[in-house]
A and B are shown apart, each in its own frame.
Chain A
Amino acid sequence: MTDLLRDALERLFASQASPAQVRAIEDGGDAGPLWAAIEEGGFGHALVPESADGAGLALADVFPTLMAAGAQALPVPLGLTMLARALLAEAGEDVPEGAITIATDPDAAWRCAGLPYARTASWALLACPDGFALAPMGDVAPDAGQDRLSGDVAFAKPARRVANPTDLRAMAASVLAAQMAGALVRVFEDTIRFANERVQFGKPIGKFQAIQQQLSVMAEQVFAARMAAELAFSGPGLRPDPLRAAIAKARAGEAAVRACATAHAVHGAMGITEEFDLQLLTRRLHGWRLGYGADGYWHARVGQAALAETSGGTLDFIRTRLMY
């Protein structure tokens, strides 16, 4: 089921989310046809229970799909929509058509700065002290976000709030961590291919030990980030465990910094051109690292939880709180 879902999505990407189409949407183009194709495939309802006309999948089932979305630099919030719709359905709320982004920090006047996917989402799930509220997208003032899709948004006061204590920041962060894992794998594969093809000093640059050692470190980082993200998408229920989400997001952020640096070092000047596709992913990796809390924020959440325990060592903490 999981692989079928991912394969279907990858077919859709080939026709609707090519690098050229991603660039067009970044440039202000209409994301409507792409989203319509996603809806037609039922992907946005993957986590919604079958009783509410969804596919009733578990978090672990959609993980490969979110990795694929990340690898494609998908310019619409598919993963955030999956989780937001599942939450709404679980709370017995109506689940709307259209992409949903997650706004974790609206101010008292319902304004949100730097909202991810503000330009391509139709709705936002707004965090409230005791739960959340669904609001149609307000006026968007694009900001300087890495994927050219975020912005500052003023929302109308939501008509109704759902009392449902949920760590929306951890949910959204885990989605970005999965997308980052997918993007990291793709950047890594592209970098290996480039190192095998680019010839200097009479041989492929991948034959030089200095490059090999960097690529080995990159492999380690990508591998660790993927494992941490997978850990966040294990376990029961719709809500990724906040501490596992913390580790996933922080580990992905750390890996992104090192992997992007190596990818660009190997690709040389070509890699920083607009024309070359590498930048679609490395820009996003840095942007997603910043989104919904960067490494240091999530590290601190984990550290605070460990310090709050009164006994037991790190292994006990890891076994009982961080593993599933």
Chain B
Amino acid sequence: MLAPLPLTRIPPEDEALRAPVKAFLAETVAALPASRRVRSWMGFDAEFSRKLGAQGWLGLTLPKAYGGAARSPFARFVLVEELLAVGAPVAAHWIADRQSGPLILKYGTEAQKQFYLPRICKGEAFFCIGMSEPNSGSDLASVRSRATKTAKGWRLNGRKIWTTNAFRSHYMIALVRTSGAPEDRHKGLSQIIIDLALPGITVRPIRDLALDTHFSEVFFDEVELADDALIGAEGQGWEQVTAELAFERSGPERLYSSIVLLDSWLDHLRQTGERSQAAALGRLIGALASLRAMSIAIMARLAAGESPVVEAALVKDLGTELEQEIPILIADALGSHPERPIPAQLLAALTYVTQVAPSFSLRGGTREILRGMIARGLGLR
């Protein structure tokens, strides 16, 4: 029914990347306050991204011919989990490195690969992903933004919303309709690459409840795109997006969004000698350990060319549940001693994670959508 995932170890040659990454992060990130690091993969720092590029750590799995390092997905797992564990500000290059680069490598033309991939690897091309629209959230197939064929390429009209960091990205890869009507659902959708500097594009940042700005609304008004804006095949956008999401769902970023808070609390408990919360701490660590083992096992399947969509959905749902549980449990633990003040940085980290935690089970497919996918995999739908 659900075949067991064989327990997998990270190969030693990939594990070997950990020490240099740790040393680099100790110099560049560790000294930042927890209140900054807690933003995890939402923290934006173009300078930091370029430093990673200079180390050769962007596009790690991409071929050398395109500026990558041709390393295995396990090496990337090591790099990414260390970045997340310390709370490095990775947002600038995050989407390009995680999704856009691999997507272009898989579906792009030779010219597209030559153009985009080396710049992604240097930290010079930041990407965002245009999926949601004002009336298309979980029901993604209902998108209405449309690119119409012209003599020279495509003319784009429409609107995207909740796009992360569109106002400071160079490119957007958007899911738009290129043929048919909204009633055609999954048919007639395509992915296009949009240079966000083109005329006719307006980007409006939207502030979130933690007073950060990463969300954006993007308006396309008669935007003229070249022929090669299309990525992959016309009308194959849905299949391409679905494959992309399987990679996205089981990664370490679905486990570690609250880890800077968890580690700040661990340090606090060690410093104060407080031992009464050992069971609560152990519970979170145990859940994280099992999830990490599952995430690595799924990655091995992905690396072998399989597409464990259900398993990935399952790990994401469990992972976000844990990420959301961490601030609840820590608040309860800290508040069980009302006479003791909470250290300022720990409180800032707790406040931030508590505020943004609902987003953990919205982004990349809501909890209810994921559970529906699992049910389908179980043969119930």
User: What residues of chain A have their CB less than 8 Å away from a CB belonging to chain B?
Assistant: 188-189, 192, 195-196, 206-207, 209, 211-213, 215-217, 219-220, 222-224, 226-228, 230-231, 234, 246-247, 250-251, 295-296, 298-307, 309-310, 313-318, 322-324
Q: Is the CB of A224 within 8 A of B318?
A: yes
Q: Is the CB of A251 within 8 A of B290?
A: yes
Q: Which of A213, A306, A316 meets B371, CB within 8 Å?
A: A213
Q: Is the CB of B378 within 8 A of A192?
A: yes
Report Cα–Cα, A113/B282, bound state, in Å: 28
Asked, given contacts A192-B378, A219-B378, A230-B7, whether A322 binds B277 with beta carbons under 8 Å apart, the answer is: no
Asked, given contacts A231-B289, A314-B259, A318-B285, whether A303 binds B378 with beta carbons under 8 Å apart, the answer is: no
CB<8 Å pairs between A and B, sample of 27: A188-B1, A207-B380, A211-B380, A213-B372, A213-B375, A215-B380, A216-B317, A216-B370, A223-B314, A227-B294, A228-B293, A230-B4, A230-B7, A231-B289, A251-B287, A298-B282, A299-B278, A299-B280, A299-B281, A299-B286, A300-B278, A303-B277, A306-B281, A307-B266, A313-B263, A315-B81, A323-B9
Q: Is the CB of B283 within 8 A of A231?
A: no
Shortest CB-to-CB span from B18 to chain A, Å, is 8
Report Cα–Cα, A246/B281, bound state, in Å: 13
Chain A residues with Cβ below 8 Å from B156 are none
Select from chain A the residue with minimum beta-carbon distance to B260. Answer: A313
B152 at the interface (CB under 8 A from A): no
Asked, given contacts A209-B372, A304-B275, A318-B292, whether A195 binds B380 with beta carbons under 8 Å apart, the answer is: yes
Besides the known contacts A303-B278, A324-B7, 5 further A-B residue pairs in the complex with CB atoms under 8 A apart: A206-B380, A231-B7, A298-B282, A314-B288, A316-B85
B194 at the interface (CB under 8 A from A): no
Q: Is the CB of A228 within 8 A of B286?
A: yes
Shortest CB-to-CB span from A5 to chain B, Å, is 16
Shortest CB-to-CB span from A183 to chain B, Å, is 15
Q: Is the CB of B374 within 8 A of A216?
A: yes
Q: Is the CB of B285 within 8 A of A314?
A: yes
Asked, given contacts A227-B5, A230-B4, A250-B286, whether A303 binds B380 with beta carbons under 8 Å apart, the answer is: no
Q: Is the CB of A216 within 8 A of B1?
A: no
Chain A residues with Cβ below 8 Å from B2 are 219, 222-223
B279 at the interface (CB under 8 A from A): yes
Asked, given contacts A215-B378, A315-B85, A317-B285, whether A306 binds B266 with beta carbons under 8 Å apart, the answer is: yes
B346 at the interface (CB under 8 A from A): no
Chain B residues with Cβ below 8 Å from A224 are 287, 290-291, 294, 318
Chain A residues with Cβ below 8 Å from B263 are 313-314
Select from chain A the residue with minimum beta-carbon distance to B373. Answer: A216
Which residues of B, 241-295, contact A by the 8 Å Cβ criterion? 256, 259, 262-263, 266, 269-270, 275, 277-294
Shortest CB-to-CB span from B83 to chain A, Å, is 11
Q: Is the CB of B294 within 8 A of A223?
A: yes
Shortest CB-to-CB span from A229 to chain B, Å, is 9
Report Cα–Cα, A209/B81, bound state, in Å: 35
Report Cα–Cα, A195/B379, bound state, in Å: 11
Q: Which of A212, A313, A324 meets B266, CB within 8 Å?
A: A313
Q: How would you classify the secondary structure of chain A's contact residues: helix, strand, loop or mixed?
A: helix
Q: Which of B283, B318, B380 meets A220, CB within 8 Å?
A: B318
Q: How would you classify the secondary structure of chain B's contact residues: helix, strand, loop or mixed?
A: helix
- Nearest 4 interchain pairs by C-beta: A303-B282, A303-B278, A302-B282, A212-B375
Q: Is the CB of B282 within 8 A of A304?
A: yes
Q: Is the CB of B278 within 8 A of A304?
A: yes
Report Cα–Cα, A314/B266, bound state, in Å: 8
What per-residue 1/0 map shows which CB atoms of B127-156 lie under 8 Å from chain A? 000000000000000000000000000000
B337 at the interface (CB under 8 A from A): no
Q: Is the CB of A192 within 8 A of B286?
A: no
Select from chain A the residue with minimum beta-carbon distance to B286. Answer: A247
Report Cα–Cα, A301/B9, bound state, in Å: 25
Which residues of B, 363-381, contact A by the 8 Å Cβ criterion? 368, 370-372, 374-375, 378-381
Shortest CB-to-CB span from A178 to chain B, Å, is 12
Q: Which of B5, B283, B297, B318 meets A299, CB within 8 Å?
A: B283
Shortest CB-to-CB span from A266 to chain B, Å, is 11
Chain B residues with Cβ below 8 Å from A195 are 380
Shortest CB-to-CB span from A231 to chain B, Å, is 6
Chain A residues with Cβ below 8 Å from B379 are 192, 196
Q: Is the CB of A313 within 8 A of B282?
A: no
Chain A residues with Cβ below 8 Å from B378 are 192, 215-216, 219
Q: Which of B7, B285, B293, B381 meets A302, CB within 8 Å?
A: B285
Asked, given contacts A247-B290, A323-B293, whether A212 binds B283 with beta carbons under 8 Å apart, the answer is: no
Chain A residues with Cβ below 8 Å from B277 are 303
Shortest CB-to-CB span from A215 to chain B, Å, is 6
Q: Is the CB of B317 within 8 A of A220?
A: yes
Report Cα–Cα, A264/B350, bound state, in Å: 37
Q: Is the CB of A307 within 8 A of B275?
A: yes
Shortest CB-to-CB span from A319 to chain B, Å, is 8
Report Cα–Cα, A179/B378, bound state, in Å: 23
Select from chain B the residue with minimum beta-carbon distance to A250. Answer: B286
Q: Is the CB of A300 within 8 A of B318?
A: no
Report Cα–Cα, A224/B275, bound state, in Å: 27
